[in-house]
């Protein structure tokens, strides 16, 4: 009798684990086959800002806003696994542009310094190498070498110096922080496409389905 009870408990545990796995697989399939699995719809769209980091053509028909942080693991995974394919299929041909808005909720001076440097270098300097460095290891921002690099940027370029030290970047970082809270968003990465909110990391196939869905919707609007 004791053996039978013991086996029944093992069976219950096995059934419970199987049920959890089935639910998880079902959720993944739903996410995969439901391209417009948005989590919310905003009352208003984000407005373009001068210090936005833009990948792709300004004339692209579809804009994807991405709230991100270099300290966010899944943001870095997006740029490693998803962005190269997105760039090749949609950005390079001018169909889509990605607007990255750096979200820094911390007031740590080194983290803020890195965010301000990124948006200013993007506007006035050579951004690609800095972007690659911060994606490789965001902890570099807390090193003396990184601080020296920022000081070198400001010493060599008056526009970069004014942007970082003159308050432009501080104002921008604060605007993005307040905007994120106003929209009631949480977590990075968060994407907004045509006021539709998509939270969290998605594979390229998932992301591609969402983009194609919105492009088809825009095409139908144009026809009508």
Same domain for 6 and 45, yes or no, is: no
Same domain for 202 and 113, yes or no, is: yes
Say what the pLDDT of residue 28 is. 46
Same domain for 25 and 56, yes or no, is: no
Say what the pLDDT of residue 26 is. 47
Same domain for 113 and 193, yes or no, is: yes
Same domain for 146 and 102, yes or no, is: yes
Say what the pLDDT of residue 151 is. 94
Tally Cβ neighbours within 10 Å of residue 60. 18
Same domain for 20 and 126, yes or no, is: no
Say what the pLDDT of residue 217 is. 83
Same domain for 52 and 162, yes or no, is: yes
Write out the residue range of the structural domain in which residue 167 sits: 40-223
Question: Helix, strand, coil % (nearest 5) of the chain?
Answer: 60, 10, 25
Same domain for 5 and 57, yes or no, is: no
CB 139 within 8 A of CB 76: no
Say what the pLDDT of residue 37 is. 55
CB 71 within 8 A of CB 122: no
pTM: 0.81
CATH of the domain at 48: 3.40.30.10
d(CA 139, CA 133): 10
Domain count, the chain: 2
Say what the pLDDT of residue 39 is. 73
Same domain for 161 and 88, yes or no, is: yes
Same domain for 51 and 95, yes or no, is: yes
Given a cut of 50, the residues of the chain with pLDDT beneath it are: 2-3, 26-36, 224
**62-68 and 40-41 beta bridge pairing:** unpaired
Q: Where are the alpha helices (DSSP H) in 68-167?
A: 73-77, 83-86, 109-124, 127-136, 144-156, 158-165
φ/ψ region of 55 (left if φ > 0, alpha if ψ in -120 to 50, else beta) reads beta
Same domain for 128 and 153, yes or no, is: yes
Same domain for 83 and 132, yes or no, is: yes
The closest alpha carbon to 63, from 90, 84, 44, belongs to 90
């Amino acid at each position: 009798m004791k053996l039978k009870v013991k086996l029944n408990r093992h069976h219950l545990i096995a059934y419970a684990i199987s049920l959890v796995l089935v639910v998880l697989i079902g959720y993944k399939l739903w996410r995969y086959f439901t391209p417009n699995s948005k989590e919310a719809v905003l009352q208003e769209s984000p407005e373009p800002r001068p210090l936005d980091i833009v990948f792709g053509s300004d004339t692209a028909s579809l804009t994807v806003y991405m709230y991100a942080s270099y300290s966010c693991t899944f943001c870095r995974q997006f740029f490693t696994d998803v962005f190269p394919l997105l760039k090749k299929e949609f950005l390079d041909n001018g169909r889509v542009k990605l607007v990255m808005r750096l979200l820094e909720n911390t007031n740590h001076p080194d983290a803020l310094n890195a965010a301000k440097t990124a948006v200013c270098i993007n506007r006035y300097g050579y951004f690609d190498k800095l972007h690659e460095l911060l994606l490789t290891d965001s902890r570099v921002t807390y090193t003396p070498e990184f601080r020296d690099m920022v000081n070198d940027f400001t010493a060599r370029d008056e526009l970069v110096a004014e942007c970082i030290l003159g308050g432009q970047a501080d104002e921008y970082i604060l605007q993005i922080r307040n905007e994120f809270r106003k929209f009631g968003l949480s977590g990075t990465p968060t994407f907004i496409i045509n006021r539709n909110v998509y939270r969290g990391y998605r594979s390229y196939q998932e992301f591609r389905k969402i983009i194609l869905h919105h492009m088809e919707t825009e095409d139908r609007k144009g026809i009508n």
